[in-house]
Chains A and B, each alone.
Chain A
Amino acid sequence: MARGQMLAITWMNLQSLPARWGAALVAVVGIGGVVMVLTATLAMAQGFKAALDFAGAEDVAVVVRGGSSGELSSNLLGPEATVVADAPGILHDGAGPIASPELYVLVDLPMRVSGTAANVPFRGVGARGFAVRDHFRILAGRLFTPGLYELVIGRGALGQFRGLKLGGVVRFGNQNWRIVGVFEDGGSVTESELWSDLHVLQSTYRRGNSVQSVRVRLASPAAVAQVAAALKADARVNVSVASERAFYAEQSKALVAIVTILGTTISIMMGIGAIFGALNTMYSAVAARTREIATLRAVGFGAAPVVASVLVEAVLLGLAGGLLGGLAAFVAFDGIAASTLNFQTFSQLTFAFMVTPRVFVTGVCYAVLLGLLGGLLPGIQAARLPITAGLRST
């Protein structure tokens, strides 16, 4: 019976909504704005995660010098790289172990949007570089020719930096490099990089035969422990071994944490503002109907259905705001590419905003919560106002 009462009162409240559309719109738009920001932030974090997750194969391991926090601070001499490649647990094919020694340097390029210089990773790879990356694919042009000053650029880098275009020439390390192709790598961080032939890059930057890292394809994801143990026991090398997924997660941990914390903080601050908007709306909704509510209660309706009906209305307004904000974020941000400096690797990370269903639903749930909080006090006030006072109000 209480539910019937609540439905009846709620239905009446909603019918009077058109008469108070101004206040209702303020609440819906206020909550919608907050949800839009929240959704955009979550979409950004989601895009980060995707960029990092995609890069992270479980059956590929990254080997760097022991104690180095990333490729940049690592250094492995040629013989050390050979020892790494010979470790047990690495998959072999007709040409031997599948291991890719890679050189990693940073070069300067102006950002397309701001024009300020950013660090762009420039990677030298040998023939094995493609055997340890499942998603690598040339999108336009062709691969660089070994031995020549040619490079291919990730599609993320293409979008983010000035001076990069297919067929163009860029100057790094006192050499002119021709851009002969654009590649993708499943949306991973690799797409922010420039790639050239390992030996050409080594000689350009006078690195001899040293490299920064060795990527190896594992016999199985579990073999990472085997490789690590074998290399730890080997006195000729001092390296650390991690699956590619773990390696990237570690590399961007701080960045993801900051984006998430910042986004959540902003959303909570704005959410508090939106709660006041919802409060205001529901207070005016209640105030406008003080006499009606008192009449209902005089007739014998209970206090609880009155509170519940106010809450239901607030939640519906929140829901409308949430859908509106989520859709706006989807239209405005989904798929948009952006980049940021990963200060752990000192390189620019490109990623896309991803408004996934989960992100969308999270935003809508937050909106409903805001509505609920905004309706609570006015609902309780409506129920507690003495009936005789309510009946006298105009």
Chain B
Amino acid sequence: MDGPLVEVRGLTKEYRRGDEVVPVLAGLDLSIARGDYVALMGPSGSGKSTLLNLLGGLDQPTAGEIRIDGVSIGELGSNELAAWRARSVGFIFQMYNLLPVLTAEQNVELPLLLTSLSKPERLARARAALALVGLSDRARHRPRELSGGQEQRVGIARAIVTDPLLLLCDEPTGDLDRKAGDAVLDLFDALNREAGKTIVMVTHDPRAAARARRILHLEKGVLAREEG
């Protein structure tokens, strides 16, 4: 298929708190090509996480349309949307969000429970993903027995194990020191340049943003300018 992977038209998001309406996104347009690597920057509270959540189908826009790989996700029902998320997006969170009772391997296997793969196939895939992030030797560790950087690499393995179209990362290095952060960014580089993954990464760190192909700045509810 050709054309951009992500197409956003007139995206508006307002939060309602009692009588008060908080406008966050105000008619935002955005287009992201397949295989692109986009860093999303902007002041705190500018709506970066909001935009990312909308792209991932975690939240509903007030107005506007989001098309991803030709699918208008606003038209999906909640069960369809959940299934679409399972197939199409991998989320990487600032605080990793691993499930504490599961081992690294089980955490990575988790999204595969939503597929029709057999247990041996799931395990093989989970192990391959862990190998890709360099954590084969930590497969049986629980999150609490891992460093922050290792936890985030498990999070990345979980996000890529289903081979999604799009990786959405919300401040993935925000809680890591420079060395661990660099390791994560190196992984993104490899995923983008070698595996052709499309990545959208929210970040406050100009050094991290500099690794992306494009840098977008979100201000006052719209994309103010672009570098890259």
A residues with CB within 8 A of B: 1, 4-5, 8, 12, 15-16, 291-292, 295-303, 386-388, 391
B116 interface residue (CB < 8 Å to A):
yes
Which of B49, B78, B85, B116 meets A298, CB within 8 Å? B85
Contact between A299 and B91, CB atoms less than 8 A apart: yes
Of B94-102, B201-209, B214-222, the one with at least 4 CB within 8 A of chain A = B94-102
Task: Count contacts on B: residues with CB < 8 A to the other chain.
Answer: 26
The prevalent SS among residues of A at the interface is: helix
Q: Give per-residue flags for B38-57: 1 if the beta carbon is below 8 A from chain A beta carbons, else 0.
A: 00000000000100010010
Residues 77-91 (chain B) with a chain A CB within 8 angstroms: 78-79, 82-87, 91
| Structural contact, B97 and A1, CB atoms closer than 8 A | no
Determine the residue in chain B with the shortest Cβ distance to A4: B113
A-chain residues with CB within 8 Å of residue B114 when the two chains form the complex? 1, 5, 299-301
Whether A292 and B99, one on each chain, are in contact in the complex, defined by CB atoms closer than 8 angstroms, is yes
Q: A295-B93, A298-B56, A301-B86 are in contact. List 16 more A-B contacts (CB 8 A).
A: A5-B113, A12-B99, A16-B100, A291-B97, A299-B110, A299-B114, A299-B158, A300-B82, A300-B84, A300-B111, A300-B114, A302-B82, A303-B82, A388-B49, A388-B53, A391-B93
Cβ of B33 within 8 Å of any chain A Cβ, yes or no, is no
Known: A295-B99, A387-B59. A300 touches B93 (CB 8 A): no
B210 at the interface (CB under 8 A from A): no
Determine if B101 and A300 form an interchain contact, defined as CB atoms under 8 angstroms apart: no
Residue numbers in A under 8 Å from B85 (CB-CB): 298-300
Instruction: Identify 5 residue pairs between A and B in the complex whose beta-carbon atoms are under 8 Å apart, listed by A's number.
Output: A298-B58, A298-B85, A299-B114, A299-B158, A300-B83
> In the complex where A5-B113, A295-B97, A299-B110 touch, is A388 in contact with B86 (Cβ < 8 A)?
no
Q: Nearest 9 CB-CB pairs, A to B?
A: A300-B86, A15-B101, A295-B97, A300-B85, A387-B58, A16-B101, A8-B113, A302-B82, A388-B59
In Å, the complex CA distance between A15 and B101 comes to: 6
Please, which residue of chain B has its CB at the minimum distance from the CB of A300?
A: B86
Q: Decide if B78 touches A303 in the complex (CB within 8 Å).
A: yes
- Looking at A4, A8, A295, A299, which has the most chain B CB atoms within 10 Å of its CB? A299
* A298→B110 CA distance, assembly (Å): 12
Interface centre among B85, B99, B111, by most A CB within 10 Å? B99
A386/B79 contact (C-beta < 8 A), A291-B97, A391-B97 known: no
Residues on the A chain within 8 Å of B93, using CB: 295, 391
In the complex, A386 Cα to B57 Cα: how many Å?
Answer: 12
Say whether, besides A1-B116, A388-B59, A302 and B91 are in contact (CB < 8 Å): no
What residues on A are CB-neighbors of B84 within 8 Å? 300
B58 & A299 in contact (Cβ 8 Å cutoff): no
Given the complex of chains A and B, what is the CA–CA distance between A303 and B100 in angstroms?
21
CA–CA, A249 to B45, complex, Å? Answer: 77
Q: Complex: how many Å from CA A301 to CA B87?
A: 11
CA distance A121 to B59 in the complex (A): 78
Docked pose: A5 CA to B111 CA in angstroms? 10
Shortest A272–chain B CB gap in Å is 33
Kindly supply a per-residue 1/0 record for chain B positions 57-80, scoring 1 wherever the CB is within 8 Å of any chain A CB and 0 otherwise: 011000000000000000000110
